Amino acid sequence: MVAINYRTADVDGWRIFYREAGRADAPTLLLLHGFPSAGHMFRDLIPLLADRFHVVAPDLPGFGQSDKLARGMFATTFDHIAEVIDRFTEVIGLERFAIYVFDYGAPTGFRIAAKHPKRVTAIISQNGNAYEEGLSDGWNPIRAYWQDASDKNRQALRAFLKPETTIWQYTHGVPDATRVSPDGYSLDNYYLSRPGADEVQLDLFGDYKSNVALYPAFQNYFRTHKPPLLAVWGKNDPFFLPAGAEAFMRDIPNATVRFFDTGHFALETHAAEIAAVIRDFLSR
């Protein structure tokens, strides 16, 4: 049995909740979740890695058990979220670590890696995009909001916050939906239902354009530093296309790309397979 500890860290006044497992002196892997989830999305992966790695999975600010974001008191931007997680790694004493990035965790982790290239030993991207060709037409309503931040376009994005949409994100592209536990999407829907969470998430939809604007900077980091990179991708993801995974090889020719017959939340159905690939990748 793997012992998992559930902790909190005070990061310059922000309470950041995180899961931690494995020996503190083992190679560290920082797991960064995406929308609309939290560190609980790694509940199946952590036990499969903790015998060999020191695994740390924080809830991003405004997500899960970390402090909620109050509009007007915290810049609701990916820049700010990355700054807090960057400081989080320093507060808990992480000096060198690999990162596993998914969805919103990708622009968070890529900002940290580009800022501290010597700290990040490797990157595992699970449907964590850094290329325009990786963005599907599913982004069109959000793109419309980037181009015209009208109330009409903002309100149209509330469809992404509906409980049935969360369930769809978990089950779309999964050949056998009975393999998807309701635990994950039910908890995500609880977090989304908290007072004020909707407006914060709408703000982040709007700010996601800052991530796309940074794609050239992320790609320059990849080309310049060529970090060991593994892409493990749910090939049926409705938001991040396989082309986004393959594009990493343009800047990191030795990158490894693996596709799995599943959707956006690939760990829900393929945690064991992905863990095996990660163990091999990080042992090279």
| Catalytic residue check, 40 | no
Beta bridge partners, 54, equal 28
CA–CA separation, 65 vs 46, rounded Å?
Answer: 18
Alpha-carbon gap, residue 279 to 82, rounded angstroms = 26
88: three-class secondary structure by DSSP:
helix
- CA-based torsion, 248, 251, 253, 255: positive or negative: negative
Name the pairing type of β-strands 14-21 and 28-32.
Answer: unpaired
The helix or strand, by DSSP H or E, that contains position 123, with its residue range, turns out to be strand 120-125
| Residue 55: closest CA among 121, 108, 100, 17 | 100
Read out DSSP for 220-242?
HHHHHH---EEEEEETT-SSB-H
At 175, list the tokens. Answer: 């050949």
Peptide bond into 175 cis (omega under 30): no
The pair phi, psi for residue 133, each rounded to 5°, is -70, -10
How many angstroms separate the CA atoms of 29 and 37, rounded?
19
126, 266 contact by CB (below 8 A): yes
Distance CA 145, CA 204 (A): 11
Q: Report the alpha-carbon distance of residue 83 to residue 282 in Å, rounded.
A: 26
Active-site choice (40, 172, 264, 270): 264
Cα separation, 72 vs 264, whole angstroms: 31
Active-site residue list: 264
